[in-house]
Structure formats: C-alpha cells, structure tokens
Amino acid sequence: MTDYNKIEQVKQIIEELIKNLGAEGKVEFEESITKGLIFNITSPESYFLIGRQGGILHALQILVQAMAAKKLGSEGPLWFSLDVDDYKRKREWFLKDTARGAVEHIKKTGRPAALEPMPNYERRLIHAYIQENHPEAISESQGEDPYRRVVIKLKR
C-alpha cells in the first residue's frame, strides 16, 4: 500500500534540493511493479542533474534517500529511486543493447569483447542481463576504478 503522505514529503525534499542547486524542475512519481517507486525529475538543466555517466544523479539519489530517512524518522523507510528525464530507463536500454551486440560479436569472432568503463551499478546490470539472457556467454569485471569495465566471453 502506498503512503501518499511519505511520497509528498520526499517530493518536497527533492524540489527543495533542486531549487537549492540553482536548477529548476518538476518532480513526478510513478509506481512500477518491478522497479518500485520512482521519482522522475523533468528539467531543462537535466545535463547538470545527471552528470557524466549518471554520477551526479547517483549522488543525488543517495543524498535524497538520506534526507528522507532523517525526515521520515519513526514513520519508517520509503524505498524509492530517483531519475532525471528518464535517464536511467534510457541508459538501461542502451546498456542491454550494447551487451546484446557484444554477445553477437563474440559469437561471430570468438574473441572476448570489452565494454566501456562504467560505474559498478551499471556493471551489475550488464552481468545480470548476460546471466539471464545469454547462457552461452559469461561476463566479468576487469581493471581498477574508475576504468573498470565488463569483459564478455563465450563459455568454454
């Protein structure tokens, strides 16, 4: 059951934070069966709120979750994620499509494919996608942060 009072409080926290950052934006929420509660910010300064490879967006989500936990306190936690102009949804689609393309490439060539360096939460998404959808391939992370990348190989 959705607690609309908690949702409104979190929405106010996000709006106030955006305003204090000097940006403007509209905050809406949606409930997804698979992803839970998602607060999506629509803003003309979305590039500023997303950052390089979603780094600022990830930091904003952690900050908003901490602020919400402090404000809601004894009312109990509210689990949610934060997005800006559907960046995460589009990025997830792009990453899955890239992994699918890499699997097709390694099937043709037989050689491993290394993807671009990416944050750990994106690498986890790739690993899960490969494991669920491509049993003929395996994926592993290689390198050191911030240059850590996913390498996809055929199973032996």
Q: Which helix (H) or strand (E) holds 148?
A: none
Residue 125: name the closest of 153, 95, 156 by CA: 95
Q: What is the mean pLDDT of each run of 10 residues along the chain (156 residues)?
A: 80 94 93 84 93 91 92 78 94 96 95 93 94 95 92 92
Q: Are 65 and 78 in contact (CB under 8 A)?
A: no
Supply 17's token pair.
Answer: 């934070």
Q: Furthest-apart CA pair in the chain: how many Å?
A: 57
Q: What is the pTM of this model?
A: 0.81
Summarize pLDDT for 86-130 with one digit per residue, the tens.
999 999 999 999 999 999 999 999 999 999 999 888 999 999 999
